[in-house]
Amino acid sequence: DWTMSDFVEEAVAHIRTRVGNGVVIGAVSGGVDSTVAAVLLQRAIGSQFRAFLVDNGLLRKDEVAEVVARLHDKCGVSLTTIDGAETFLSRLEGVVEPERKRKIIGNTFIDLFDAEASKVDAAFLLQGTLYPDVIESVSHKGPSATIKTHHNVGGLPAHMKLQLIEPLRFLFKDEVRALGLVLGIEAASVGRHPFPGPGLAIRILGDVTPTRLAVLRDADAIYIEELRAAGLYDQIGQAFAVLLPVKAVGVMGDCRTYEEVIALRAVETSDFMTANWFDLPTPLLRRVSTRIVNEVRGVNRVTYDITSKPPGTIEWL
Ligand code: XMP
Closest protein CA for atom 17 of ligand 1 = 150
Sign of the torsion angle spanned by Cα atoms 266, 173, 144, 194? positive
- Between the CA of 20 and the centroid of ligand 1 the distance, in Å, is 36
For residue 150, name the pLDDT band (cuts at 50, 70, 90).
Answer: low
Residues 237-272 pLDDT 10s = 999 999 999 999 999 999 999 999 999 999 999 999
pLDDT at 156 exceeding the cut of 60: no
pLDDT at 137 exceeding the cut of 90: no
- In Å, the largest CA–CA distance within the chain is 71
- Between the CA of 67 and the centroid of ligand 1 the distance, in Å, is 20
- Between the CA of 315 and the centroid of ligand 1 the distance, in Å, is 6
Cβ of 315 closer than 6 Å to ligand 1, yes or no, is: yes
Residues 33-65 pLDDT 10s = 999 999 999 999 999 999 999 999 999 999 999
Cβ of 148 closer than 6 Å to ligand 1, yes or no, is: yes
Phi-psi region of 148 (alpha: psi -120 to 50; beta: other; left: phi over 0): beta
Residues 191-250 pLDDT 10s = 999 999 999 999 999 999 999 999 999 999 999 999 999 999 999 999 999 999 999 999
pLDDT mean across residues, the chain: 94
Gap between the Cα atoms of 247 and 282, Å rounded? 25
Closest ligand 1 atom to residue 149 Cα is 17
The closest of 73, 76, 25, 14 to 48, measured between CA atoms, is 25
At residue 69, the 3 state secondary structure works out as helix
For residue 133, name the pLDDT band (cuts at 50, 70, 90).
Answer: confident
C-beta separation of 7 from 180 below 8 A: no
Run of H or E residues at 266: strand 255-268
C-beta separation of 185 from 67 below 8 A: no
Cβ of 152 closer than 6 Å to ligand 1, yes or no, is: yes
Gap between the Cα atoms of 226 and 231, Å rounded? 9
Give the end-to-end CA distance of the chain in Å, rounded to a whole number. Answer: 45
- Between the CA of 272 and the centroid of ligand 1 the distance, in Å, is 8
State the complex-level ipTM.
0.99
Cβ of 197 closer than 6 Å to ligand 1, yes or no, is: yes
Q: Side chain identity at 307, as an amino acid letter?
A: T
